[in-house]
Amino acid sequence: MTISFNIGSHQFQRPVVMGILNLTPDSFSDGGSYLSPQQALLRVEQMLEQGADIIDVGGESTRPGAAAVSVEEELARTVDVVAEIKQRFSCLVSIDTSKPEVMQQTVAAGADIINDVCALERPGALQMAAECGVPVCIMHMQGEPRSMQSNPHYEDVLSEVMTYLKQRVESCVAAGIQRENIIVDPGFGFGKTLDHNFKLLAHLSEFNQLGLPILAGMSRKSMFGKLLDKKPTELEAASIAGALIAVQQGAHIFRVHDVAATADALRVYSKVQMSK
Ligand SMILES: Nc1nc2[nH]c(S[C@@H](C(=O)O)c3ccccc3)nc2c(=O)[nH]1
């Protein structure tokens, strides 16, 4: 059986690769290589050539201990880059933000999807996302980015993440966001221990019961770094393994640094599916 799903009005018959564009100086995986707008656009061009369908633009790192970023600073980092990407390329752009003002101005500049690691919980975010009228990805996080990894604890991580996502979906629909505009994400690395992350990956297929596209973001994360005792830049193979395990369980969208390798691996998966 082949994959078929919608992100809003965009239809896909294959797994979708979301390439990560970090516009922050402190992102964990590229060691603070601060991208100028010109460098950012070169990186976008490269990811598109390598097979990315969506470019995820982030102006504030949400890794543990990252410095908070002002609205003005996050706007300055993201709005013009989003506009440039949409003017130069024909790809989809998602904005990785939790701030309503950033949602508003980047969507006005052409962003197609709102990707909020805080699942629209910040004041005004839910209303703003409903007003923007674009697809939204809502992700589970326990606690706040700055403290979420200090001591993650669950009675049952699977059922707690599932219940949270169900509740957030209901809140989104109640706020006027159409259900077919919602993507769900278990939030690997966001308030989870190594074992919590692998339990979620081992049972990812459970999330199909929500009847919504699933986004998996495991690329170069500590769930692999801790398991293998390796640095983020050495985690390409592990990240590919994670993506393949996730796609076999029904995940639809893969948020990754290593676009070419992931796109190739997912094409091998799709070919096998078509050969059944
Ligand atoms: N939807 C969605 N958006 C995301 N944004 C990020 S940030 C990530 C990083 O790559 O820096 C990161 C790495 C390590 C810890 C926290 C955050 N991760 C996701 C995700 O898993 N899902």
Nearest 10 degrees: Cα torsion 193, 182, 121, 114: 100
pLDDT in tens, 9-37: 999 999 999 999 999 986 555 555 568 88
Residue 5 counted as domain residue:
no
Q: Which two tokens stand for residue 112?
A: 């197609």
CA of 153: how far to CAs of 30, 79, 227, in Å?
A: 29, 37, 19
| Domains held by the chain: number | 1
Residue 173 counted as domain residue:
yes
* Ligand 1 center–CA 275 separation, angstroms: 33
* Active site amino acids: 221, 255
Give the residue carrying structure tokens 């019961």: 209
- In eight-state DSSP terms, residue 233 is G
Residues having CB within 6 Å of any atom of ligand 1: 20, 27-29, 61-63, 96, 115, 117, 137, 139, 185, 187-190, 215, 217, 221, 255
Residue 8 counted as domain residue:
no
| CATH code for the domain in which residue 132 is found | 3.20.20.20
Give the pLDDT band of residue 160 (cuts 50, 70, 90): very high
* Ligand 1 center–CA 178 separation, angstroms: 24
Give the integer Cα–Cα distance in Å for 117 and 108: 20
Q: Is the pTM of this model over 0.80?
A: yes
Contact 183, 138 (CB under 8 A): yes
pLDDT in tens, 122-131: 999 999 999 9
Residue 181 counted as domain residue:
yes
Q: What is the mean pLDDT of residues 243-251?
A: 98
Instruction: Look at residues 178, 144, 186, 142 and name the one whose alpha carbon lies nearest to residue 162.
Output: 186
Q: Which two tokens stand for residue 207?
A: 């999330």
Look over the chain and give the mean of its residue pLDDT values, rounded to a whole number: 95
C-beta atoms surrounding 51 within 10 Å: 16
Residue numbers of the domain that contains 62 = 13-274
Residue 254 counted as domain residue:
yes
Residue 7 counted as domain residue:
no
